[in-house]
Amino acid sequence: MDSSSSFILTTVAAAIGFFTLFRKLRFHQEDDKENNSSSSTSSPPSSSSSLSPPSSLDRIWTHHVFPSFRGEDVRRDFLSHIQMEFQRMGITPFIDNEIKRGQSIGPELIRAIRESKIAIILLSRNYASSSWCLDELAEIMKCREELGLTVLAVFYKVDPSDVKKLTGDFGKVFKKTCAGKTKEHVGRWRQALANVATIAGYHSSNWDNEAAMIKKIATDISNLLNNSASSSDFDGLVGMREHLEKMEPLLSLDSDEVRMIGIWGPSGIGKTTIARVIYNKLSGSFQLSVFMESIEAKYTRPCSDDYSAKLQLQQHFMSQITNQSDMKISHLGVVQDRLKDKKVLVVLDGVDKSMQLDAMAKETWWFGPGSRIIITSQDGKIFRKHAINNIYKVDFPSTDEALQILCTYAFGQNSPKHGFEELAREVTQLAGKLPLGLRVMGSYFRGMSKMEWTKELPKLRNSLDADILSILKFSYDALDDEDKYLFLHIACFFSHESIEKVEEYLAETFLDVSHRLNVLAEKSLISLNRGNINMHDLLVKLGRDIVRKQSLREPGQRLFLVDAREICEVLNLDANGSRSVIGINFYFGGNRIKEKLHIRFGVYIS
């Protein structure tokens, strides 16, 4: 049996084996999500409230972490162990051994706090016995408020409520330290302790194994550092500064009201990218945050009724925003119950049905003061239905910006290489102003000589009309047969699927799946992010359109079937099976097969 037959055997056998009614089968499998330990930290502010890209880049980062601690409590054991873990993970902490401690913290220590990305407060029994520690804490909390410094709290053998209310042994120690201090001084300390006690942190009483706790803290800090660094990936994006400046008044970050903001524009214009930049820059300033990408493709499943569909979406939403992969919900009141007092940042990307907003963000009062809900959609009616008036319409780039986008992908710079000026301008004109098309065309011409550009232009001129799909198909046509074949597999089955699973599925069909995935990524036909394969909706549409045109009137003569009606037709009428079809996708982005299919087991296996 050849690999194609094996592919259809696996697909259909699984479908028939698990479901009598095909309407509930989904070809794709969800990515497994890692389980997190029961004690984790929220993400305190790590960026300033300004979106202007970005003021934080102007700051000098000298240290990854600034630890604040009472030496006699933690220096020889907990602190030394966590510093070893920092060293193992490549995290650079501030070391205060060479600073002479006096009655108050000096300029050198204040500078160290301000030049650190994260501050970690090790609150121990005798922490409040040191006026130095309390002044240090007050400065850290001030930087948290003014500069967006990320602050983590570790309650080491001390109860958070004792820290907040200044009771127990912690409170007794604090009162002794306050003796002889001014009312203003004591007030600053009290406020700082009250604020740090409200940070969702790490409680040593929750851990049986201190080593595991230390590893968890260091891992979380490493992840925070990785996430903060990733935002710089967007700094070179053409036109992004202007997008963010226009979004700033709509977001109104200084206001405590709950705001819903729409980002509106056609597919391929850059809505998701803008939302991702905003999310990366601001997520650290919220108690909880979530980016729900490609909602229609990744989270909407065929359900028997509208309520079940909403319940399913809300469960996905709550699982992600709370980082709890095994969460189960039984009613639609969970969001408001859990989040009404939380300041959250939510991005709902690719919303195309009002039901999706009803499930995850129907009302502003579902969320706590200062929350921001960002929705991207091609459909302006979605915003009107939900009375969302703060809408940013993403315009096409200017001619100069369009040329810059093309050149970024073609030459690795924002202007044409010497001698390519006229060629680049013509390709930009032919490709139109849609950023996706410019990116794909730039990637196609990357590395070509001037002679090769000149040779390709006539084909590009002849293939184009006003439809962007013609532009994208030009790059598809330039692939070799095997890469075209893989492109069609991804378009029909595997967009938003994990790389590992795709490589496993197609190991017998392609000699080197990993290499060919990288080829498609280099051509900007797919992106490989965080272990997943993502293909833009327009490219998915292109791939499925190519398959459909293999046989317009005879679906059974195509390689793949993805349309519910045509699948019913082929499976019901073609009892002997089709020798052309090698794969069937029973998941249709919300559509489902509504009729029962009375088909013998093994119809495609004969």
Please tell me the predicted confidence (pLDDT) of residue 580. Answer: 59
Please tell me the predicted confidence (pLDDT) of residue 24. Answer: 35
Q: C-alpha angle 34/340/231, rounded to 5°?
A: 50
Compute the mean pLDDT over every residue in the chain, rounded to the nearest whole number.
78
Residues 113-125: tens digit of each pLDDT: 888 889 999 999 9
Choice among 220-234, 310-324, 379-393, 560-574 with the minimum mean pLDDT: 560-574
Task: Check if the beta carbon of residue 521 is closer than 8 Å to that of residue 527.
Answer: yes
Q: Out of 3.40.50.300, 3.40.309.10, 3.30.70.860, 3.90.1150.10, which CATH number does the structure's domain 240-393 have?
A: 3.40.50.300
Please tell me the predicted confidence (pLDDT) of residue 301. Answer: 61
Of 570 and 479, the structure prediction assigns the larger pLDDT to: 479
Give the C-alpha separation, 142 to 293, whole Å: 34
Q: Say whether pLDDT at 147 is over 90.
A: no
Please tell me the predicted confidence (pLDDT) of residue 446. Answer: 92
User: CB neighbours (10 Å) of residue 182?
Assistant: 9
Please tell me the predicted confidence (pLDDT) of residue 420. Answer: 96
Hey, which residues are catalytic here? 136
Residues 472-524: tens digit of each pLDDT: 787 788 888 899 989 988 988 888 888 998 898 888 888 888 899 988 887 77
Give the C-alpha separation, 468 to 495, whole Å: 20
Residues 267-286: tens digit of each pLDDT: 788 899 999 999 988 887 88
Q: Say whether pLDDT at 15 is over 70.
A: no
Task: Check if the beta carbon of residue 583 is closer than 8 Å to that of residue 560.
Answer: yes
Residues 196-206: tens digit of each pLDDT: 988 878 998 88
Q: Say whether pLDDT at 429 is over 80.
A: yes
Could you tell me which residues come within 8 angstroms of residue 362 by beta carbon, excluding any fewer than 6 positions away? 386
DSSP helix/strand/coil, 532: strand
What's the pTM? Answer: 0.56
Structure tokens at 358: 């009803």
Q: Say whether pLDDT at 366 is over 50.
A: yes
Q: Say whether pLDDT at 221 is over 50.
A: yes
Which architecture, in CATH terms, is 55-226?
A: 3-Layer(aba) Sandwich (3.40)
Percentage of the chain modeled with pLDDT above 70: 75
Give the C-alpha separation, 302 to 23, whole Å: 7
> Hey, CA dihedral for 16, 18, 21, 24, is it positive or negative?
negative
Residues 167-197: tens digit of each pLDDT: 999 999 999 999 989 999 899 999 999 999 8
Mean of the pLDDT values across residues 287-291? 88
Mean of the pLDDT values across residues 62-84? 87
Please tell me the predicted confidence (pLDDT) of residue 19. Answer: 34
Residues 514-567: tens digit of each pLDDT: 899 988 887 778 888 778 898 887 788 788 888 888 766 666 565 666 665 666
- Picking from 252, 254, 210, 230, the residue whose alpha carbon sits closest to that of residue 74 is 210
Percentage of the chain modeled with pLDDT above 90: 29
Q: Say whether pLDDT at 571 is over 80.
A: no
Of 74 and 584, the structure prediction assigns the larger pLDDT to: 74
Of 429 and 603, the structure prediction assigns the larger pLDDT to: 429
Please tell me the predicted confidence (pLDDT) of residue 51. Answer: 59
Mean of the pLDDT values across residues 582-589? 52
DSSP helix/strand/coil, 598: coil
Please tell me the predicted confidence (pLDDT) of residue 583. Answer: 56
- Picking from 378, 170, 354, the residue whose alpha carbon sits closest to that of residue 272 is 378
